[in-house]
Structures are given as structure tokens and as C-alpha cells.
Amino acid sequence: MYQSGGDTGGWSCSYYSTRRDESSAKEFSFRLVYPTGNVGGVIGKDGDIIKQTRQESGAPIKVDGSSAE
């Protein structure tokens, strides 16, 4: 996933393993709800974090701007 530079603390830069055989993959979805002030940490500057997450995971990720309240 996104790394802002510096020491990685021994962690890999990616949370995702090599893609598996898609014929055995199962589809699922989940929803994350973040306070408006924190969503920038998920999206990243210029969308860099979410773009990298999409690329590495191969998952479609939607960001809904509506309020859950």
C-alpha cells in the first residue's frame, strides 16, 4: 500500500500478495465509513493512495461523497 517514504520498519510496501487464479476468486464487498476530515488519508494527495490500492489489489474501489449521518 502507500508509503510516504523513510523507514518502512521492516514492513513490505504492499499488503497484497501475487494475484490468485481468478476462477477460484469469490466476490464480496464491504463498506468503510470515515469522518469527512479523515478521508484524505485514505484517498491520498492527488488520489495516490487509492490509485495504488486499486492497482495492487485489482479491486474496484468507489468513493461516495455523501454523508452517512
* pLDDT tens string 41-69: 888 999 999 999 999 988 888 888 776 55
pLDDT given for residue 47 in this prediction: 92
**How many CB atoms sit inside 10 A of residue 50's CB?**
15
Query: Three cell numbers at 39?
Result: 478521508
Task: Decide: 49 and 1 in contact? Cβ < 8 Å.
Answer: yes
Task: Decide: 1 and 55 in contact? Cβ < 8 Å.
Answer: no
**How many CB atoms sit inside 10 A of residue 25's CB?**
10
pTM over 0.85: no
Alpha helices in 1-69 (DSSP H): 39-43, 48-57
* Least confident segment among 10-14, 22-26, 35-39, 64-68: 10-14
Of the candidates 4, 9, 16, the one whose C-alpha atom is nearest the C-alpha of residue 45 is 4
pLDDT given for residue 46 in this prediction: 93
